[in-house]
Amino acid sequence: MAKKITVPRGTTDILPPEISLWQNIESTARKILDIYNYKEIRTPIFEEVGLFKRSLGQTTEVVNKQLLELASNKEEGFALRPEGTASIVRSYIENSIDRKESLTKFCYIGPMFRGERPQKGRLRQFHQIGAEVIGQDCGSPYIDAEVIALSVNLLKEFGLDNFKLKLNTLGSAQDREKFAAILREQLKPHRSKLSEDSQKRLDQNVFRILDSKDREDQKIIGQLEIGYDHLSTDSREYFGKVKGALDGLGVKYELSPGLVRGLDYYTHTVFEISDTSLGSQDALGAGGRYNSLVKDLGGAQVDAIGFALGIERILLALSDKKTLEQLTLNCYIIALDEVALEKGFELLNQLRAEGISADMSFKLSSMKSLMRSANKSQARYVLILGEEEIKGNVVTLKNFESGQQVQVNLSNIKELAETIKNKRV
């Protein structure tokens, strides 16, 4: 037998029975993003490797260990995008958007790629719903509050309510440096006890130690005194206003001084939303400010902030709750003889023309077996056409859920369509 080819590790097929859940999430997201006036942007799914190195940081896990690079004979080639922010900033600069608008609100929905070790909630191809606000007018604490509230409201609209919002500030780029120095100072005496990776991080990128999953590292991290001493008065005041605006909106948060995020571009406000039902991969989404990134990538000095939510994790968190209604087929037609089959095919297309989702069995079989097919289709109504119905120019309309059954005249398709649309039976 020929060797079977399987889906690549860490990726999945999204099969038709699940697709309505995805479409529901995506259409709800688009509706909410539209209400908030965020406009969609689509960038390529691969970019020059240098873009990710310069934005996410050379020493981050995502760049160092997880970039999925495309084979190339150039010294520095292309990689599948591990996230969306870097590409959007690249596009913002490349299209000189800063010269046209003082504030731009972007949103995106699409696949991202990271060569991680796959486990529940951690994939190599996963999907994000994201938003980014960029521009010279972006430096307002109300925008931080809007972006955070938007991510929380999206999750609520999807039907989730059991999540926690962790909030922190890293301060300005200078404050960040001070914070790094404070951490280094506190960690140095423990150098020999740190994991090999974290010993390297101590010199290269001390914030990454705070994300370490190593047990010994975590013990040491637990003893650190992490506060807000590194913050300038301005940064402190700014963060105060962000919290005030969130309080005003009634958005609940938990202050988390150790939250530094796994990517290097963040400054000031950072946040993460987690769901306790998810186990170790519990982050539903995360985001923060990145006020230096546009400039670091060759653009103007403009502020920016954004977030991304993971669709697979949202679906995992929803899977116990079943709050999203499955989109069901409206009608399934079954015909009991050749003449009825011909009439059924005509009816099928008339119903579809009326905007009613419909399908039918094209096979002639026993009533029992046809009803089994109708049942399997999960349609709300089964429409039965037999000898008697053809003679009377009617169709038997049966509501699967209630069992209620009526005969409807076929001379007025609009009337039949209204009955189905308004669920009169």
Binding site for ligand HAM (CB under 6 A): 83-85, 114, 116, 121-123, 126, 128, 130, 132, 262, 283-288, 306-308, 310, 312-313
CB of 175 to ligand HAM, least distance (A): 18
Query: Which residue's CB is nearer to ligand HAM, number 239 or number 271?
Result: 271
Helices (H), ranges, 60-172: 61-64, 85-94, 97-100, 141-158
CB of 121 to ligand HAM, least distance (A): 6
Query: Which residue's CB is nearer to ligand HAM, number 144 or number 389?
Result: 144
CB of 36 to ligand HAM, least distance (A): 15
CB of 132 to ligand HAM, least distance (A): 5
Query: Which residue type, as a one-letter code, is found at position 196?
Result: E
Pairing of β 358-360 and β 394-399: unpaired
Query: Which residue's CB is nearer to ligand HAM, number 261 or number 343?
Result: 261
Q: What is the DSSP letter of 84?
A: S
Query: Which residue's CB is nearer to ligand HAM, number 258 or number 262?
Result: 262
CB of 304 to ligand HAM, least distance (A): 8
Rounded distance between C-alpha atoms, residue 25 and residue 326, angstroms: 11
Query: Which residue's CB is nearer to ligand HAM, number 286 or number 417?
Result: 286
Tokens of 46: 């691969």
Give the nearest residue (CB) to ligand HAM: 310
**Cβ neighbours for 125, distance < 8 A, ≥ 6 positions apart:** 8, 10, 11, 12, 111, 112, 113
Range list of β-strands (E), 293-380: 303-310, 331-335, 358-360
DSSP string of 226-284, one letter each residue:
--STT--HHHHHHHHHHHHHHHHHT---EE-TT---SSTT-EEEEEEEEEGGGTTS-EE
CB of 307 to ligand HAM, least distance (A): 5
Query: Which residue's CB is nearer to ligand HAM, number 106 or number 239?
Result: 106
Tokens of 349: 């297309």
